[in-house]
Amino acid sequence: MKIAYLDCFSGVSGDMLVGALIDAGLPFDWLRSRLAGLAIGGYELEARREGRNHIHGTRFLVHTGHEHAHRSIVDIRQIMEGSDLSPWSRTKVIEIFESIARVEGRIHACPAEEIHFHEIGAVDSIVDIVGAVLGVEKLGIEQLYASPLPLGGGFVETQHGRIPLPAPASVELLKGIPVRGTESTEELVTPTGAGLVKGLVKTYGAMPSMVVEGAGYGVGSRNLPDRPNLLRIVIGQSGTEESDTVAVLEANLDDTNPEWLGFMMERLFRAGALDVVYLPIQMKKNRPGTAIQVIGRPEQKESLMEVLFAESTTLGVRFRFSERKVLKRSSAELDSPWGKLAVKRVTRPDGSTLLLPEYEACRAVAVERNIPLREIYYWVISANRS
C-alpha cells in the first residue's frame, strides 16, 4: 500500500502541501488542467524552484490580482458539485470546507451557512485545497501520516483586524491533533493547512515503517529565522507494521462503587475506546483503589474524557498521546468442520501470515453446537500448520 508522511518541522499551509506534492512527482501541467475545470477564474498558476537554508524544493503560487469575492459554503458546494472531480475528491474537498465553515461559525457565533469566507474562500485557498486533494489522489497515496504540528505565537493582520497566533480557526481545527509550542513569532500552521491535515491525515507521530520511493519539499513564502520554511513529504510502500497514534487517558479511583465501574467500561467502549483496563492499586491513606487506563483515537480524547467524568468520581484525568506499531490485520474465512468460520489474518514482520481466532465467531459456533470454545480455538490455530 502506498503511504506518505508529512514532516511538518516548519508547520503546514495549503500552498506548501501542493508544492511538496509537485516536488514529489505530481505533474504540474496535469494539475493546472484539472483545476481549470473549476467554475472559478481570474488566476494564474506557477511552480518554481526555490531554496530555504540551501534546501531546494517547489514553491506553488496562485496569482490572483485583486479579488473581492466572498464565497459561502453554499457557493463552494455548488462549485465542487458542478466540477468533473472524482467522487472521492469532490466529497473530500467539501468535507474540508465544511469543517472550516463549522469552525468559523463557532468563532463568529453564527450558522456555518451564513459564514462568508474571506481568506479561506478566496481563489488561492480554493486552488490550494482542491490541488492538494487532487495531488494525493493522483499520486495514489492511500494513507497519509504527519508529525505533530509546531505552532507559532505573536499576532497577524487579517480582514478582521489583528488576531493572535495560532489563528482561532487553526486552533479549533486542530482539536484532537498533537501539537507542540515553539518560540517562533510566525504563523506556522494556517487555517487552510489545518483544514487539509484534519481532512487527509490518518494519524500523527513518528514516520511509519515504509520502503521509501520518493520525497518532495514544498517551499513556504517566507524566510524563517530559526528553521528552513519547508514542508517535506516522504512517499513509499508500507511495511508489515503500521505506526499509529493513540490518546491514553488515566485516572486513579478509591471511592467508586465497583458496579459503576462495570457500567463505565461499557460506556467507554460504546464511545469508541480501543481498550479499557482496570488495575488494583493501593492509594493514599492506605485505601485499595482502581487505576483506569483508556486507549482511544486522538480525536476521541474529549468524548472519552466526558465519560470518565460522568461515570466515575474522579476529579482529574491524565492524558497523553502515545505512538504504537500494529501489525497488518485483515478478515478471512476458513472452511471449518462447522461451516464457514470468520478469522483474523495477521501479517508478521517477516512477511509470513498467521491466522487467529475471531472470538465472536468462535463463540457463536460453541453456543450453537454446544462444544467447548477452546476446541474451536485449537482448530483455528492448527490451521496455520496446514
Asked if pLDDT for residue 111 goes beyond 90, the answer is no
Mean pLDDT of 362-374: 95
Whether 210 and 266 map to the same domain: the answer is no
Cα–Cα dist 54/210, whole Å: 27
Whether 310 and 365 map to the same domain: the answer is no
Whether 169 and 298 map to the same domain: the answer is no
Whether 343 and 315 map to the same domain: the answer is no
Whether 137 and 72 map to the same domain: the answer is yes
pLDDT band at 115 (very low <50, low <70, confident <90, very high): low
Whether 234 and 315 map to the same domain: the answer is no
Number of domains composing the chain = 3
Which pLDDT value is given to residue 113? 66
Asked if pLDDT for residue 315 goes beyond 90, the answer is yes
Domain that holds residue 310: 244-326
Q: Cell numbers 481498550 label which residue? A: 275
Which pLDDT value is given to residue 117? 59
Question: Distance between the two ends of the chain, CA-based, in angstroms?
Answer: 28
Q: Cell numbers 497514534 label which residue? A: 245
Which of 239, 268, 301 is the endpoint of a domain?
239
Which pLDDT value is given to residue 206? 85
Which of 193, 208, 239 is the endpoint of a domain?
239
Asked if pLDDT for residue 310 goes beyond 70, the answer is yes
Asked if pLDDT for residue 335 goes beyond 80, the answer is yes
Whether 18 and 106 map to the same domain: the answer is yes
Asked if pLDDT for residue 110 goes beyond 90, the answer is no
Whether 85 and 217 map to the same domain: the answer is yes
Which pLDDT value is given to residue 68? 57
Q: Write out pLDDT tens, residues 156-204.
A: 777 767 889 888 889 999 988 989 999 999 999 999 999 999 999 988 8
What is the percent of the chain with per-residue pLDDT over 90, rounded to a whole number? 69
CB 51 within 8 A of CB 41: no
Question: What's this model's pTM, rounded to 2 decimal places?
Answer: 0.74
Cα–Cα dist 279/289, whole Å: 8
Which of 204, 239, 274 is the endpoint of a domain?
239
Whether 90 and 199 map to the same domain: the answer is yes
Mean pLDDT of 306-311: 96
Q: Write out pLDDT tens, residues 44-75.
A: 999 999 999 999 999 999 998 766 567 788 88
Whether 230 and 248 map to the same domain: the answer is no
Which pLDDT value is given to residue 118? 54
Cis check: omega of the bond before 166, within 30 degrees of 0:
yes
- Tell me how far CA of residue 276 lies from CA of 75, 202, 270, 319, in angstroms: 44, 22, 11, 14
Whether 83 and 176 map to the same domain: the answer is yes
What is the percent of the chain with per-residue pLDDT over 70, rounded to a whole number? 94
Asked if pLDDT for residue 108 goes beyond 80, the answer is no
CB 334 within 8 A of CB 355: yes
CB 106 within 8 A of CB 171: no
Cα–Cα dist 100/288, whole Å: 47
Mean pLDDT of 350-357: 89
The CATH number linked to 287 is 3.30.70.1380
Contacts made by residues 260-265, CB under 8 angstroms, sequence distance 24+: 260/311, 260/312, 261/290, 261/312, 263/311, 264/307, 264/308, 264/311, 264/312
Whether 16 and 27 map to the same domain: the answer is yes
